[in-house]
Chains A and B, each alone.
Chain A
């Protein structure tokens, strides 16, 4: 696979800017769709498999401008409709096309609080970019305007130029909001509630903040600096943080309200219960949940072998089971930790894989081998109880199932052995019952997810919930969307209460 170097990409973009920027408002749609889409500059695959630095380097200003000029500024804004938080995409893209990055940032911030994160981890090809008119005209969704990359560009520009402003906080209301979990949903709730002048405390079970952004998503995809910056902003706004605090264990949820005086609670604890295959050999040494593998590598920094005290398994041949982003992250992390062969074993085909397209491409460039239409049947171990092989079975695609994807059907007598010493199970997460078990009065559905109304309100008075604990394992942006909605409802509830108290 040949890619231009970052320098070559920049040179081409510079020429295109010279050609188009003077007539940015006068281009016809046909002229715009002819402008080549801008590739993301990336670290050389051979280099990056030996480091943890971010793979995608981000657009230069010229690349961003060229990409923005490709946007047709449609009247029917399908991109906005397909964005879970309804960012005015044509609006901010138009500002980039005109070189007004300040204004572009302002437009994004109206709807999204964490653009540097979403620009990196959103599955744009199934959201804003899916029905983009440019992609449709060119009959290739990959040729859609690269909205996510533009979003990231603006957010990075803002951060690097020190232009991130601390949102204004209204005068203190005397009301207290507890946010349980410091992942994407919780961070959004904290910011939105704090802005209204409420005292906000974020409770985090781990010793570091960020939830899945920190323990789950590796630095080569989302550097810790970016999470730290978002947290610094919250801290500057006066949000209080309590790490090493497991609500439900260190303190019961109802005690936060009854004893500690919190007027509202938002539960954003994520999914966080690893699902295993339930196959023979899964408890052998060398079989890990993706949660464990990634938490060791990311949060506990086990990749930094000289410094970290938390060990990580030394692997030579690794099988990763699953086809989502977590599977890609695990596979690519295993490669970076020194595995010679890394296989992603997925029982459907590449088309059905839920992972972000860019991550799949990056994984392939890094030498990850994809075994489609195959699945693990059992894991075999040596006498000392360590994994030494995995028996797989082949599948073919049958009729579509309830999810609309063609159902994989096992091919009889198609078993074969895969030579591996490590198996990472990345087939999803259930809902972790730690908090809900110790919180009677909170209603759950049959999968253990918290049930909420249209305002994210749970069955418990003053308690709201959002993100994966409600949705099941979903995406960062959906979690943020739910957080936004919950914060609005909490703010409304508290405002009404303040009003009532004032009248008395």
Chain B
């Protein structure tokens, strides 16, 4: 069990929570994730990246977007409530050293897991260029936090409601064309964004690391549901990742696998929403 110490709504569908988990706070490093359940008997195991940790009050920070029934239920929990099951830290930590110049590209909710990585890279002496992308202004999160870290911060929105009207790949391409080109790119966000970031950097031969969020059950290497093709090898995101060389990841297969349960999940979400509406009408 993990008590919710703090809850904040960052945008319409995006929430931040601090959870009391002293052991995880102590052990975790940037890049690792947790799995939680809103119900220990019937709930799904939801993997979420650890956005931050505080060893003083023994808390970890998670940031999540409501995308289905389980995340909707989580979003309805409040400060003081207990999350029934929380396990971690899982996955391998991000490898951090002084690479030189690193471009961090965070798309939508992907800015949350990017935050501790950018922080660690900055602390290791890198020049950190941060690109934040979102569909519109309301979906931009952690702008102030990222501004505090970044040597250069670029914000783009698809609709131009804030920052540049562009996809993140445009500024990324421009930065790759600079002389000298960046030493490394880290991209975290929707699969399609990570795919196109990898394609953008490929001609410039800039190493591009992506952080994958595939379907998983146990998160400890036992089920293999999270497997992805990386180069000629099959890797398990939960124990071999979540970070991989974006130039080697088979994104198309990964995106297909992410849709394995789409129709069932949509049905479940709709059923849940329907029952919520009915419950409200009853009142």
Spell out A's residues near B (CB within 8 Å).
Answer: 205-208, 243-246, 249-252, 272-274, 276, 282-286, 288-289, 291-292, 295-296, 300-301, 304, 307-311, 313-314, 384-385, 432-434
Q: Which of A243, A276, A283, A284 has the most CB of B within 10 A?
A: A283
Please determine whether A285 and B260 come into contact, CB atoms closer than 8 angstroms. Answer: yes
Please determine whether A295 and B217 come into contact, CB atoms closer than 8 angstroms. Answer: yes
Please determine whether A244 and B222 come into contact, CB atoms closer than 8 angstroms. Answer: no
B45 to chain A, nearest CB (A): 7
Residues 74-107 of chain B: 1 if any A CB is under 8 Å from the residue's CB, otherwise 0? 0000000000111111100000000000000000
9 closest A-B pairs by beta carbon, nearest first, are A385-B256, A292-B223, A244-B87, A311-B261, A289-B224, A311-B264, A309-B44, A207-B85, A274-B224
**Does B40 sit within 8 A of A, measured CB to CB?**
yes
Given A283-B229, A301-B41, CB of A276 within 8 Å of CB of B234: yes
Please determine whether B224 and A309 come into contact, CB atoms closer than 8 angstroms. Answer: no
Please determine whether A313 and B260 come into contact, CB atoms closer than 8 angstroms. Answer: yes
Q: Which of B70, B224, B261 has the most CB of A within 10 A?
A: B224
Please determine whether A309 and B256 come into contact, CB atoms closer than 8 angstroms. Answer: no
Please determine whether B221 and A273 come into contact, CB atoms closer than 8 angstroms. Answer: yes
Residues on the B chain within 8 Å of A205, using CB: 87, 218, 220
Residues 52-84 of chain B: 1 if any A CB is under 8 Å from the residue's CB, otherwise 0? 000000000000000001100000000000001
Given A250-B87, A434-B239, CB of A289 within 8 Å of CB of B27: no
Please determine whether A243 and B85 come into contact, CB atoms closer than 8 angstroms. Answer: yes
Residue contacts A-B, CB under 8 angstroms, 15 given: A205-B220, A207-B85, A243-B85, A250-B23, A251-B27, A274-B222, A282-B234, A283-B234, A284-B256, A296-B217, A300-B44, A311-B261, A311-B265, A314-B264, A433-B221
Residues on the A chain within 8 Å of B42, using CB: 301, 304, 307-310
Nearest residue in A to B2 (C-beta to C-beta)? A244
Please determine whether B70 and A309 come into contact, CB atoms closer than 8 angstroms. Answer: yes
Given A300-B44, A433-B221, 4 additional A-B pairs, CB 8 A: A249-B27, A272-B220, A304-B42, A433-B239
Nearest residue in A to B261 (C-beta to C-beta)? A311
Please determine whether B43 and A309 come into contact, CB atoms closer than 8 angstroms. Answer: yes
Complex Cα distance, B220 from A291, in Å, reads 12
**Does B257 sit within 8 A of A, measured CB to CB?**
yes
Given A250-B87, A300-B45, CB of A206 within 8 Å of CB of B268: no
Interface residues of B in 206-236 (CB under 8 A from A): 217-218, 220-225, 227-229, 234
Please determine whether A283 and B253 come into contact, CB atoms closer than 8 angstroms. Answer: yes
Complex Cα distance, B220 from A283, in Å, reads 19
Given A296-B217, A309-B44, A311-B261, CB of A272 within 8 Å of CB of B222: yes
**Does B177 sit within 8 A of A, measured CB to CB?**
no
Residues on the A chain within 8 Å of B89, using CB: 249-250
Residues on the B chain within 8 Å of A245, using CB: 87
Residues 232-264 of chain B: 1 if any A CB is under 8 Å from the residue's CB, otherwise 0? 001000010000000000000100110111001
Residues 135-172 of chain B: 1 if any A CB is under 8 Å from the residue's CB, otherwise 0? 00000000000000000000000000000000000000
Q: Which of B23, B224, B239, B259 contacts A291 (CB 8 A)?
A: B224
Complex Cα distance, B27 from A291, in Å, reads 28
Given A246-B87, A250-B89, A272-B221, CB of A207 within 8 Å of CB of B40: yes
Residues on the B chain within 8 Å of A206, using CB: 218
**Does B24 sit within 8 A of A, measured CB to CB?**
yes
A98 to chain B, nearest CB (A): 43
Q: Which of B224, B253, B256 contacts A292 (CB 8 A)?
A: B224
Nearest residue in B to A294 (C-beta to C-beta)? B223
**Does B37 sit within 8 A of A, measured CB to CB?**
yes
Complex Cα distance, B215 from A286, in Å, reads 13
Please determine whether B86 and A244 come into contact, CB atoms closer than 8 angstroms. Answer: yes
Residues on the B chain within 8 Å of A300, using CB: 44-45, 217
Residues on the A chain within 8 Å of B84, using CB: 207
Residues on the A chain within 8 Å of B229, using CB: 283
Residues on the A chain within 8 Å of B88, using CB: 246, 249-250
Please determine whether B221 and A295 come into contact, CB atoms closer than 8 angstroms. Answer: no
Residues on the B chain within 8 Å of A285, using CB: 256-257, 259-260
A365 to chain B, nearest CB (A): 29
Residues on the A chain within 8 Å of B217, using CB: 292, 295-296, 300, 310
**Does B205 sit within 8 A of A, measured CB to CB?**
no
Nearest residue in A to B255 (C-beta to C-beta)? A385
Please determine whether A432 and B225 come into contact, CB atoms closer than 8 angstroms. Answer: no
Nearest residue in A to B256 (C-beta to C-beta)? A385
A250 to chain B, nearest CB (A): 5
Q: Which of A276, A307, A309, A434 contacts B221 (CB 8 A)?
A: A434
Q: Which of B41, B87, B228, B268 contacts A311 (CB 8 A)?
A: B268
Nearest residue in A to B260 (C-beta to C-beta)? A285
**Does B39 sit within 8 A of A, measured CB to CB?**
yes
Nearest residue in B to A206 (C-beta to C-beta)? B218
Residues on the A chain within 8 Å of B264, using CB: 311, 314
Residues on the B chain within 8 Å of A208, using CB: 40
Residues on the A chain within 8 Å of B86, using CB: 244
Q: Which of A295, A314, A384, A434 contacts B256 (CB 8 A)?
A: A384
Residues on the A chain within 8 Å of B44, using CB: 300, 309-310
Please determine whether A274 and B41 come into contact, CB atoms closer than 8 angstroms. Answer: no
Complex Cα distance, B224 from A135, in Å, reads 42
Please determine whether A207 and B37 come into contact, CB atoms closer than 8 angstroms. Answer: yes
Please determine whether A276 and B43 come into contact, CB atoms closer than 8 angstroms. Answer: no
Residues on the A chain within 8 Å of B41, using CB: 301, 307
A244 to chain B, nearest CB (A): 4
Residues on the B chain within 8 Å of A310, using CB: 42-45, 217
Complex Cα distance, B264 from A308, in Å, reads 12
Please determine whether B223 and A309 come into contact, CB atoms closer than 8 angstroms. Answer: no
Complex Cα distance, B42 from A282, in Å, reads 29
Residues on the A chain within 8 Å of B227, using CB: 276, 283
Residues on the B chain within 8 Å of A243, using CB: 85
Residues on the B chain within 8 Å of A284, using CB: 256
Complex Cα distance, B229 from A283, in Å, reads 8
Please determine whether B27 and A250 come into contact, CB atoms closer than 8 angstroms. Answer: yes
Residues on the B chain within 8 Å of A244, using CB: 85-87
A284 to chain B, nearest CB (A): 8
Please determine whether B87 and A291 come into contact, CB atoms closer than 8 angstroms. Answer: no
Nearest residue in B to A250 (C-beta to C-beta)? B23
Given A244-B85, A250-B24, A309-B43, CB of A432 within 8 Å of CB of B69: no
Residues on the A chain within 8 Å of B40, using CB: 207-208
Residues on the A chain within 8 Å of B24, using CB: 250
Complex Cα distance, B224 from A284, in Å, reads 13
Residues on the B chain within 8 Å of A291, using CB: 222-224
A382 to chain B, nearest CB (A): 11
Residues on the A chain within 8 Å of B265, using CB: 311
Complex Cα distance, B44 from A300, in Å, reads 7
Given A250-B24, A313-B261, CB of A288 within 8 Å of CB of B220: no
Interface residues of B in 16-42 (CB under 8 A from A): 23-24, 27, 37, 39-42
Residues on the B chain within 8 Å of A314, using CB: 264
Nearest residue in A to B43 (C-beta to C-beta)? A309
Complex Cα distance, B255 from A385, in Å, reads 10
